[in-house]
Structure 1
Amino acid sequence: MTSSADQPTVALPGEVAMPLVGFGTWQATGRSGYESVRTALEAGYRHIDTATAYGNEDEVGRALRDSGVPREEVFLTTKLPPEHAGHERRTLAASLAALGTDYVDLWLIHWPPQRGAGLDTWQEFLAVRDEGQARAIGVSNYSTSQLDVLIQATSEPPAVNQIRWSPSLYDPQVVAEHRERGIAVEGYSPFKTTRLDDPVLIEIARAHGVESSQVVLRWHVDHGVVVIPKSVTPDRIRANFDVFDFSLNEDELRRIDGLAG
C-alpha cells in the first residue's frame, strides 16, 4: 500500500498539498457508499471527494470516522450547489455537521450560478477560507472566461477548477490557461469518454503489466492533473489506486494525448 507520505501531490495556496489521486463518491450512497469510502481509505486513498448534491456526506463522514485514519491525513472536498448561492454559510455548516468535521480541505462552487460567474458567492468563499473553515477554495465546471471574472474582481484565483477530463478531452491549451493563472486542474469522469479497449491504451498497458484503466489514471498523474475515479466495487477501488509503481514515458504520454479527437 502506498503511504500518504509517498503519494504525489499538487501544491495549492496556503501550503495545502492535494493528493493527485482521489476517490470520487458521486452516486455512492447508503450502505454501498459507506463501504466504498471505507474500502478506499483502507486501500490507501487520502483524498475523498463529495458534494452537497451527492446526498452522501453523512456516509462519507461516518466512514472516515470509523476508518481510524486521522482526520488531518485525509484531504476532504465538498461542493456548494449553484442553487444555494446566497446561502453559502448555511450550506457549509450543514456539510461540516454531516461530515463530522470543523473544516474541509477544499470547498468548490459545484457549477457556475445561473447569473454570471458567482462573484458574490466567491467573495463569501474567500471569507470562509480566511476564517479557517476551508483550507482551500475553488470552483468546478468553470470556463476560462468565468475564472477571469473572479480573478479580475478579487485578485484571488480559485485554487482548483474541477472539470470533466480524460485522454479524449485532452487540450493542452486548457491546461496552460489554468497554470498561467495558478489554478490546479482536477479531472472527473476519467473513464466515461475513454475507450479502454483503444489499441494505444492496450499496448501501453501490456508494456507495464497493468490495465488500460490504470494507464488512463497514470496519464493524469504524469500530467500533474488531479483525478478522482469512482467505484463501489472493492477490487476496482483498489486497482484505481494502484498506479504509483509505474510511470509513462514521453512517447507514451504523447500517444495518449493524441487520442483527443
Structure 2
Amino acid sequence: MSTSAIRVGVQIQPQHADYQSIRRAAAEAEEIGADILFNWDHFYPLYGEPDGKHFECWSILAAWAEQTSRAEIGALVTCNSYRNPELLADMARTVDHISDGRLILGLGAGWFERDYDEYGYEFGTAGGRLADLAQALPRIESRLGRLNPAPTRDIPKLIGGGGEKKTLRLVAEHADIWHSFGDAPTIERKIGILRQHCADVGRDPAEIEISTAAEGKPADAGDTLYDLGVRLFTIGVGGPDYDLSALREWVAWRDERNG
C-alpha cells in the first residue's frame, strides 16, 4: 500500500520491572536504532504475575520525551476510555513539545476488563467502546487545533485494531498509521478491506502506513509482510529483563532492505 521505507519499532512493556530498567531499555533501543519507542496503556500486567509491577503510560512517555532525542515515541495504544478526549489532546500536545515533535498519538477502543473494573471505568460492550472512540476522534482533532501553543507538527495518529466494519472505517477516516495483528493472509485480507473503506471516504490508502507485530525471523516474516505493504514492524519486550536481541535483528534487516 505504501512505498515508504521500512521502520522498526519496539514496545517496551512497562510491566514486571523497576523504572530504572525501563529507562535503560529505552536508551538501549534508541542506540540500537529503533525508529519508534512504544509502551502500552494498561494499569496491570497483561501476562505473568497479574499483580506484578506496572507503570502508567503517559507519565512514561513524558519521561521518554526528555530522555531520548531521535526516536519517535508513543503508546501502542492509548485506551480511549481512560481520559477525556480534550485532556488527551492536551497531553499529546504537551508531550509533542517536550519531545521536539516526536510523538505518535496511538489510539484504541480498549479491551482489558480488569483495568476498567479496578479504576472505575464502565466496561460496557465492544461496540459501545468503538462508538466512544468514533466520537472522541473528532473532539481530539478539534482540541489539537485550538490549543495555544499549537502542536509542533500535525501529530500522526495511529489507530490499533482489526475490526473490519468499524475500526478499519475509523482508520480510513482519521489515521496516519494502522496497527494490527495476524498472519500474512489475515493482514492481506484486512488491507483489502481498508482500501475499500478508503475508497468510500475518498482517502488515498497510500497515506496510511501499515504496521504490525514483528515476530519470527525478519528474512521470512518481514519479507512476506513487506510484499503485502507493511512498512512498520514492532517488537514487543517485557520486564524484568528487556531482551533487545530481536530488535537488533530487525534493525539490521531494515537497514539492508532500505539500502
Question: What TM-score results when the alignment is normalised by the length of structure 2?
Answer: 0.62
Aligned counterpart for 2:246 among listed residues 228, 236, 239:
236
Q: What residue number does 2:33 align with?
A: 44
Q: What residue number does 1:165 align with?
A: 182
Q: What residue number does 2:141 align with?
A: 126
Measured in 1, the distance between the counterparts of 2:222 and 2:188 equals: 17
Q: How far has the Cα of 1:145 moved from its partner?
A: 1.1
Letter in structure 2 aligned against 1:26: Q
Q: What residue number does 1:250 align with?
A: none
Measured in 2, the distance between the counterparts of 1:92 and 1:102 equals: 16
Aligned counterpart for 1:175 among listed residues 166, 170, 191:
191
Q: What residue number does 2:86 align with?
A: 89
Q: What residue number does 1:156 align with?
A: 173
- Residue 144 of structure 1 aligns to a residue in which SS? coil
What pairs up with 1:185-204 in 2 under 5 angstroms? 185-188=210-213, 190-191=214-215, 196=216
> Is this contact kept in 2: 1:178–1:185, CA < 8 A?
no
> Is this contact kept in 2: 1:166–1:216, CA < 8 A?
no
Measured in 2, the distance between the counterparts of 1:93 and 1:51 equals: 19
Question: What TM-score results when the alignment is normalised by the length of structure 1?
Answer: 0.61
Structure 1 residue runs of 5 or longer lacking an equivalent are 1-9, 12-16, 197-211, 248-261
Structure 2 vs 1, CA of residues 97 and 125 (structure 1 numbering), >3 Å: closer, same or farther?
A: closer
- Residue 249 of structure 2 aligns to a residue in which SS? helix
Q: What residue number does 1:144 align with?
A: 164
Q: What residue number does 2:108 align with?
A: 110
Aligned counterpart for 1:135 among listed residues 151, 155, 178:
155
> Is this contact kept in 2: 1:106–1:137, CA < 8 A?
yes
Q: RMSD between aligned alpha carbons?
A: 3.6
Measured in 2, the distance between the counterparts of 1:111 and 1:105 equals: 19
Q: How far has the Cα of 1:136 moved from its partner?
A: 2.0
> Is this contact kept in 1: 2:162–2:190, CA < 8 A?
no
Measured in 2, the distance between the counterparts of 1:19 and 1:92 equals: 28
- Residue 235 of structure 2 aligns to a residue in which SS? coil
Measured in 2, the distance between the counterparts of 1:177 and 1:61 equals: 35
Structure 2 vs 1, CA of residues 128 and 51 (structure 1 numbering), >3 Å: closer, same or farther?
A: farther
2:222 equivalent to 1:217: yes
Measured in 1, the distance between the counterparts of 2:170 and 2:57 equals: 29
Q: What residue number does 2:45 align with?
A: none
> Is this contact kept in 1: 2:11–2:234, CA < 8 A?
yes
Deviation readout 1:35-57 (Å, 9 max, x if unpaired): 11111110111222234437244
> Is this contact kept in 2: 1:218–1:243, CA < 8 A?
no
Count of aligned positions:
205
> Is this contact kept in 2: 1:96–1:103, CA < 8 A?
no
Q: What residue number does 1:20 align with?
A: 7
Measured in 1, the distance between the counterparts of 2:183 and 2:20 equals: 29
Percent identity between the aligned chains? 8
Structure 2 residue runs of 5 or longer lacking an equivalent are 43-54, 111-125, 199-204
Measured in 2, the distance between the counterparts of 1:63 and 1:75 equals: 10
Measured in 2, the distance between the counterparts of 1:62 and 1:77 equals: 12
Measured in 1, the distance between the counterparts of 2:6 and 2:255 equals: 16
